[in-house]
Amino acid sequence: IDMNTVGEEADMVSLIETYTVFGRVTPHQKRALIKAYQKQGHTVAMTGDGVNDVLALKEADCSIAMAEGSDAARSVSDFVLLSNNFDSMIDVLREGRRVVNNIERVAALYLIKTMYSTVLALTFIFVPGAYPFQPIQLSPISSLTVGIPSFFLALKPNYDRIKGQFLHKVLQTSVPAATCVIAYIMLILAFGNMLDLT
């Protein structure tokens, strides 16, 4: 659509639902279009290189300027493409997804250990008997269940689209796993007491 035909006060929400390509857009219309997309629940990226793009770059969730663009556009942007090539954004996006996805996995590992350690410590304050782990056992447990796996998980290429809330997804993995570890330890201790094992 030619944005000169709709004016500054047009209903941008209905425009973005109808059209996907906008031409001859004024700086204020660019900002209004970005706000309309954000109202619809979208995460909006804006790329530009001129002073007329500054309002929209400031409003966008992620703003991208070209290195050869104006100083104003570069100073308000989150990213500046030094190669002036928008294709490099694909690598930026992939690396961002890899980092977030791998942090999510590693965070789940650390949270599992923290949860079961906390619950066991609180439980054995009130339950007669010793804490089930000796200090010398905790180092290999930490290394083999958290330390070494998290190193390899952090390097794994994972370019899946990021969906949902970070904390919700981490808890969805860690709570059942920590519950299982606690249940296994309690069962082992119960059977050990029944069979008089040290």
Q: What pLDDT does residue 125 have? A: 87
Confidence band of 29 (pLDDT split at 50, 70, 90):
very high
- Mean per-residue pLDDT over the chain, rounded: 88
Q: Where are the alpha helices (DSSP H) in 26-143?
A: 27-39, 54-59, 71-76, 88-126, 135-142
Multiple choice CATH, 3-86, 3.40.190.10, 2.30.140.10, 3.30.1490.20, 3.40.50.1000:
3.40.50.1000
Q: What pLDDT does residue 38 have? A: 94
- Say if CB 189 and CB 127 are below 8 A apart: no
Compare 138 and 15 and report the one with higher pLDDT: 15
Phi then psi dihedrals of residue 122, to 5 deg: -70, -35
Q: What pLDDT does residue 178 have? A: 93
8: pLDDT strictly greater than 80: no
Compare 128 and 66 and report the one with higher pLDDT: 66
Phi then psi dihedrals of residue 51, to 5 deg: -65, -30
pLDDT in tens, 135-170: 888 888 888 888 888 888 888 888 888 787 888 888
98: pLDDT strictly greater than 80: yes
pLDDT in tens, 40-63: 999 899 988 888 999 999 999 999
Q: What pLDDT does residue 135 have? A: 81
Q: What pLDDT does residue 44 have? A: 93
In the chain, residues under CATH classification 3.40.50.1000 are 3-86
Please state the separation of Cα 160 from the chain's center in Å: 11
